[in-house]
């Protein structure tokens, strides 16, 4: 017996997407999508329901209800395959006149983000769903035609320019507009090539760590839930609410983390370093801490390749260690750096990094390679800025971190207790500090000029005193 495999002329396309919803999305007409989906569902959905849909397809309003019932039925079957079909059928209920009918787009976008597609299929399906998102923003409100048709027309190209336009684009290098490209959670998180191979020379044995990042698109950290981050830091640093706001001023929800250089100024122990550390924690950022007090040269900028103990610049090291393009470089006690200009000064070495333009094409003299360091954030701390040279000072946003006062004591002491409880399980059931205990702590704390470090010690000592007192009874 011979089988003849017939292919239907003009069939929309081969089934190249595993997920039925994505395949549905690629159809250029609502009816085509319906027809394809009908065929794809015969093994899963009950025959009579499918027939019902086909029979009512002429009445656009009625068929919507029938499809919704079918979607309910498919979800009720409780398998991943039926759920995927349910999502596919949901797309048929989308109506450009009713933006709220696009409420399935989050799960559809997620299906795309999680699908393992060829590059050109991925691009095509993403291009389509973008049109759907626009429709969800009521862009085609009042349109008579289906969203399938709209998406098809909007994504259609002039065949002549087609080839140039969809040629695969290279990963983001610094010639492209900005690292503002795709920021969706998984597939195309924003990245940046920090060390383009074309601008690098051969690495030597000291630089094995850097081989991995040549030409590699490194992830950029994206800001997630700014409001929560701000609320957390406000609660932890009640005395420095303004400083927190100023530091976070450049953070935008969903955008890569970049802070303009910030210099935190405040008396010793007011919590500057801790503030930086906590900000990085809640952001999920990598911090490279550089202690300025122990630097007496321009080693921050790296040492030349000709030296036997050559070492790349601090920002380059931060990138290699974090394997991300946007770590935070924290320069602690910048005012304590050596002032004499013998082997170069930290202050001068830092300047080129703080200007985004120069940082984006910084030639590291150890790696002998042009690096794009423009996405690194710099936060420095100091007790006193008067000593810093003006060119350096001008490049920082100077943020004053006030010392806490007695008014902040109850909140801060409670924070310290929580930290202690995290470190030591035995402390988890400690009763909150009583008013008389806070009074005593307050007096001791005032003597230490309200240093946060001392507060930790005082609270710990108070709790220990309480324990030993309790044991005697």
Partner 1 sequence: MMTNSSRKKAETLERDIDSYTCGEVPSPLALLQAPTLDRWSTALHQRGKEFIMVLTGDVHKHPEFQDGDNIHTSAVMWFDRENRFARTVSRLYALGRPAAAKEGE
Strand partners, 291: 332
CB of 207 to partner 1, least distance (A): 23
Helix (H) or strand (E) holding 288: strand 287-291
What sign does the CA torsion over 170, 369, 356, 288 have? positive
- What separation, in Å, do the N-terminal and C-terminal C-alpha atoms of the chain show? 97
Q: Does 121 bind partner 1 (CB under 8 A)?
A: no
**Total residues contacting partner 1 (rule CB under 8 A)?**
50
Half-sphere exposure of 178 (CA within 13 A, CB side): 9
Among the listed residues 253, 362, 250, the one whose alpha carbon sits nearest the alpha carbon of residue 315? 362
Question: Is residue 353 within 8 Å of residue 302, measured between CB atoms?
Answer: no
Region binding partner 1 by CB under 8 A among candidate stretches 47-55, 228-236, 380-388, 428-436: 228-236
Instruction: Dump strand ranges (E) for 318-383.
Output: 328-332, 362-364, 369-371, 377-382
The answer to whether 24 and 36 are in contact (CB under 8 A) is: yes
Per CB under 8 A, does 232 bind partner 1? Answer: yes
- Which of 41, 313, 322, 326 contacts partner 1 by CB under 8 A? 322
Residue with tokens 């304590």: 336
> Which of 5, 43, 61, 80 is the binder for partner 1 (CB under 8 A)?
80
Work out the number of other CB atoms within 10 angstroms of the CB of residue 184.
15
Q: What is the DSSP letter of 268?
A: T
- The reply on whether position 389 binds partner 1 by CB under 8 A is no
Judged by CB under 8 A, the stretch of 31-39, 52-60, 102-110, 198-206 that binds partner 1 is: 102-110
Chain-centre distance of CA 403, in angstroms? 31
Does position 76 interact with partner 1 (CB under 8 A)? The reply is yes
Q: Rounded to the nearest whole angstrom, what is the least distance from the CB of residue 254 to partner 1 in the complex?
A: 4
Tokens describing residue 274: 């801790």
Closest separation between CB of residue 137 and partner 1, Å? 5
Nearer to partner 1, 38 or 130 (CB): 130
Q: Which of 52, 64, 109, 173 binds partner 1 (CB under 8 A)?
A: 109
> Which is closer to partner 1, CB of 38 or CB of 77?
77
Q: Is 136 in the site for partner 1 (CB under 8 A)?
A: yes
Binders of partner 1 among residues 270 to 299 (CB under 8 A) are 284-286
Q: Which residues contact 442 (CB under 8 A, 6 or more apart)?
A: 406, 409
Specify the stretch interacting with partner 1 by CB under 8 A; choose among 197-205, 226-234, 365-373, 421-429: 226-234
228 lies in the site for partner 1, by CB under 8 A:
yes
User: Quick one: tokens of 197?
Assistant: 């191979």
Instruction: Kindly state whether residue 250 participates in binding partner 1, applying the rule CB under 8 A.
Output: no
Kindly state the smallest distance separating residue 183's Cβ from partner 1, in Å: 4
The half-sphere exposure of 299 on its side-chain side, counting CA atoms within 13 A, is 16
Residue number, 52 or 224, with CB nearest to partner 1: 224
What number of other Cβ atoms are within 10 A of residue 443's Cβ?
Answer: 11
Nearer to partner 1, 129 or 369 (CB): 129
User: Of 40-48, 223-231, 238-246, 363-371, which segment contacts partner 1 by CB under 8 A?
Assistant: 223-231
137 binds partner 1 (CB under 8 A): yes
Query: Segment contacting partner 1 (CB under 8 A): 31-39, 251-259, 288-296, 330-338?
Result: 251-259
Which region among 129-137, 312-320, 343-351, 432-440 touches partner 1 (by CB under 8 A)?
129-137
CA 162, CA 165: separation in Å to the nearest integer?
5
Q: How many CB atoms within 10 Å of residue 249?
A: 13
**List of E strands, 348-446:** 362-364, 369-371, 377-382, 397-400
Q: Least distance from C-beta 228 to partner 1, angstroms?
A: 5
Task: Please report whether residue 83 would count as binding partner 1 according to CB under 8 A.
Answer: yes
**φ/ψ (deg, to 5) at 116:** -100, 90
- Write out the residues near partner 1 by the rule CB under 8 A: 71, 74-80, 82-84, 86-87, 90, 100, 103-107, 109-110, 126, 130, 133, 136-137, 180-185, 188, 190, 222, 224-225, 227-228, 231-232, 253-255, 284-286, 322, 324
């Amino acid at each position: 017996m011979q089988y003849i495999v017939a292919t239907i002329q003009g069939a929309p396309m081969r089934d190249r997407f595993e997920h039925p919803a994505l395949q549905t999305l690629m159809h250029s007409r609502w009816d085509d999508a319906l027809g394809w989906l009908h065929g794809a569902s015969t093994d899963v959905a009950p025959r009579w329901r499918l027939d019902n849909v086909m029979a009512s397809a002429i009445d656009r309003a009625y068929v919507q209800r029938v499809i919704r019932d079918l979607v309910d039925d498919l979800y009720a079957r409780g398998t991943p395959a039926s759920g995927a079909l349910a999502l596919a059928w949901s797309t048929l209920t989308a109506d450009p006149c009713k933006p709220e009918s696009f409420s399935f787009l989050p799960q559809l976008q997620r299906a795309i983000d999680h699908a393992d597609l060829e590059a050109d299929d991925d691009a095509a399906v993403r291009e389509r769903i973008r049109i759907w998102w626009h429709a969800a923003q009521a862009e085609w409100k009042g349109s008579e035609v289906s969203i399938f048709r709209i998406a098809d027309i909007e994504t259609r190209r002039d065949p002549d320019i087609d080839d140039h336009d969809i040629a695969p684009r290279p990963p983001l290098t610094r010639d492209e507009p900005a690292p503002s490209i795709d920021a969706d959670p998984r597939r195309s998180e924003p990245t940046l090539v920090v060390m383009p191979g074309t601008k690098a020379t051969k690495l030597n044995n000291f630089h094995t760590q850097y081989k991995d990042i040549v030409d590699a698109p490194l992830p950029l950290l994206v800001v997630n839930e700014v409001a929560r981050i701000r609320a957390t830091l406000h609660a932890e640093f009640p005395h420095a609410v303004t400083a927190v706001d100023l530091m976070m001023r450049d953070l935008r929800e969903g955008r890569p983390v970049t802070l303009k250089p910030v210099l935190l100024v405040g008396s010793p122990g007011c919590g500057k370093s801790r503030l930086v550390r906590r900000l990085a924690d809640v952001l999920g950022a990598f911090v490279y801490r550089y202690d300025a007090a122990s630097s007496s040269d321009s080693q921050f900028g790296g040492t030349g390749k000709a030296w036997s103990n050559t070492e790349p610049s601090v920002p380059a090291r931060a990138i290699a260690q974090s394997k991300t393009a946007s770590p935070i470089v924290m320069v602690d006690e910048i005012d304590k750096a050596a002032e004499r200009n013998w082997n170069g000064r930290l202050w001068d070495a830092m300047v080129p990094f703080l200007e985004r333009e120069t940082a984006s094409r910084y030639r590291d003299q150890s790696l002998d390679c042009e690096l794009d360091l423009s996405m690194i954030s710099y936060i420095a701390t100091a007790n006193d800025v008067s000593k810093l040279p003006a060119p350096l000072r001008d490049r920082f946003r100077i943020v004053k971190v006030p010392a806490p006062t007695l008014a902040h004591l109850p909140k801060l002491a409670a924070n310290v207790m929580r930290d202690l409880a995290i470190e030591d399980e035995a402390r988890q059931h400690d009763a909150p500090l009583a008013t008389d205990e806070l009074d005593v702590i307050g007096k001791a704390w005032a003597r230490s000029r309200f240093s946060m470090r001392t507060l930790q010690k005082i609270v710990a000592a108070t709790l220990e005193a309480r324990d030993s007192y309790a044991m005697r009874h």
